[in-house]
Amino acid sequence: MCNLYSITTNQAAILALFRVVNRYVGNLQPMPGVFPDYPAPVIRNREAGTEMTLMRWGMPPPPRSGGPPVTNIRNTSSPHWRGWLKPENRCLVPFDSFAEYAPEANPETKKKDVVWFA
């Protein structure tokens, strides 16, 4: 996925769509910008059923690199990622839209624009 996404769908719609049994997110407010390391809702399976809970966006980086959470994993054969690839570590990330940077910089600002996809 990307480094920026939004979730503005109401909590009741998410609960109904994923048939959530338990929820641990409190009153979920719209989140127009979720960046790495921000807490955001996820859907995961547990013994008691499907639950919605808040987790930090991103995966722990390899110990030797440190730094912020990783959101794009390209080398799934790396020993660091093997344990995270197991089914018990998987979850769904509900979102309404995500953003990527434009391929070219804006000539006026000299910065790349953020382009949203819904």
Report the CATH number that the domain containing residue 112 is assigned in CATH: 3.90.1680
pLDDT at position 75, please? 84
Those residues of the chain that have pLDDT short of 50 are: none
pLDDT at position 1, please? 53
Tally of CA atoms within 13 A in the half-sphere of 48 that contains its CB: 6
Among 78, 24, 89, 16, smallest CA distance to 51 is for: 24
pLDDT at position 84, please? 87
Residue 80 parent element (H or E)? helix 79-82
Rg (CA), the chain: 16
Q: Which domain holds residue 95?
A: 4-117
Among 70, 73, 75, smallest CA distance to 36 is for: 70
pLDDT at position 34, please? 95
Q: Please tell me whether residue 87 adopts helix, strand or coil conformation.
A: helix
pLDDT at position 4, please? 92
Q: Is the distance from CB of 93 to CB of 1 less than 8 angstroms?
A: yes
First-to-last C-alpha distance (Å) of the chain: 13
pLDDT at position 74, please? 83
Give percent above pLDDT 90 in the chain.
38
Its pTM stands at 0.81
pLDDT at position 83, please? 84
pLDDT at position 30, please? 93
Q: How many domains does the chain have?
A: 1
pLDDT at position 65, please? 76
pLDDT at position 78, please? 85
